[in-house]
Amino acid sequence: MTGRRRASRSGVLALCLLFGSLVGCGGQPAADSAKADVQRLLDTQATAVLHHDGTAYARTGSRTAYENLSAVPLAAWSYRLTSLHRTGATATAAAELGYRVRGYDTSPVTVGRTLTLRLTADGQWYVDSDKPAKKSGQQLWDQGKVSVLKGAHSLVMGVGQDADSLRDYRSLADHAVPAVSDAWGTDWTRHVVVLVPGSLDGMAGLLGSPAASYRGIAAVTTGEAGGSGHTPADRIIVNPDAYAVLGPVGKQVVLTHETTHVATRARTTPATPLWLSEGYADWIGYRGTGRTAIQAAPELSHAVQDGDLPTALPTDKDFGFSDEATELAQAYEGGWLACRMIEDRWGAAQLGRFYRAVGTHKQRAGAVEDAMKNVLGISPDDFTAQWRDYLKAQLA
């Protein structure tokens, strides 16, 4: 019995050594070869994208997918295959896509993707679909063919937009960048990337959130707060449905507001309250428009005139997107008037120093208090009292 058991173990060992390269020992599937083949396919596809070779791309995947993104000025494009589940001649893969837009991204945008593949008659893998992974937002080219316009300070990319619309966005963005630099300074990239989907639903798809979250919001800016500069460029994402109802001044204010977020991103940290970051962006947005306080803050003006004077500066919760549009508007208007008051009483330069001083703290506790004391020479209680008096003077 002992000898036979030894012989049996030796036989298993021999079989493992002989067939290990085909099936693996210990029950490992022979999927490594397929995974390597798919990774090579994706590498070939990436080369086709970067070399603008539609014919080569069509041998690896849908020609439509290539045409949708072919106008995007890419400096890098690559996939890292993370898993592959094969069933006969078909497979589903999870991959990490990394890409950089030339002249704008200093580090890759990295997103999760889910790919479906099949084996062709000649035994080669082919990508049938390439979609956002679960809980990942869409990329603009997932929504259709991307059109691109480059401006003096901007890159505008749109889907479902005519050339005149994209030119309008480019003009607004090219005006916004120098306006922000004039107020904030030049210690930022001084260019912006603007994404214009075809609808509110398209905006929500890019953000990976329900459309209801952004109804009535004209634009948002995505990016990493307090970034080191070695990150993908911020994206200003437009809601064309809400944008269309704005007048010329309103459209410019919105683009300048969002561009301010791009400029101040590295100095905006968890210590920065939303009344300051949003108020400062509105302060630059309205700067030079000639709008009075009552014109730019109608909701807060109505409240003050009705005797409902705020008792405190807006909290971060007041800026949450909800059905209470009036309360959200009052939060933005209150933050703007706080920054406007600082400009009026301490000067525009001190407002910028105050913003930067708050952002130097690592956490919220004490950040505003220290900056008010060191930059403005005032306590938070006195600041709030002056702000309330300012609201009455400007809005009543």
Measured CA to CA, the distance from residue 141 to residue 173 in angstroms comes to 21
CATH architecture of 29-136: Roll (3.10)
* Maximum separation of any 2 CA atoms in the chain, in Å: 102
CA dihedral 369, 371, 373, 379 (to 10 degrees): -40
Backbone angles phi, psi at 113, to 5 degrees: -135, 150
CATH 3.30.2010.30 intervals, the chain: 139-266
**pTM of the entire predicted model:** 0.89
| Pair type for strands 147-150 and 154-158 | antiparallel
The amino acid at 203: M
108 Rama class: left (phi>0) / alpha (psi -120 to 50) / beta: beta
CATH topology of domain 139-266: Zincin-like (3.30.2010)
Can you state the angle between helices 298-305 and 325-346, rounded to 10 degrees? 90
DSSP, residue by residue, 195-213:
EE-SSHHHHHHHHTS-GGG
CATH 3.10.450.50 intervals, the chain: 29-136
CA distances from residue 252 to 99, 113, 290 in whole angstroms, order as listed:
30, 35, 13
Q: Which has the closest alpha carbon to 197: 235, 160, 151, 149?
A: 160
The amino acid at 119: L
Q: Which residues contact 314 (CB under 8 A, 6 or more apart)?
A: 274, 275, 330, 331, 334, 335
Residue by residue, pLDDT tens for the chain (396 residues) are 434 333 444 443 333 333 343 343 444 455 679 999 999 999 999 999 999 999 999 999 999 999 999 999 999 999 999 999 999 999 999 999 999 999 999 999 999 999 999 999 999 999 999 999 999 999 999 999 999 999 999 999 999 999 999 999 999 999 999 999 999 999 999 999 999 999 999 999 999 999 988 988 999 999 876 655 567 899 999 999 999 999 999 999 999 999 999 999 999 999 999 999 999 999 999 999 999 999 999 999 999 999 999 999 999 999 987 657 899 999 999 999 999 999 999 999 999 999 999 999 999 999 999 999 999 999 999 999 999 999 999 998
Q: Which residues contact 318 (CB under 8 A, 6 or more apart)?
A: 274, 327, 328, 330, 331
Can you state the angle between helices 274-286 and 248-264, rounded to 10 degrees? 130
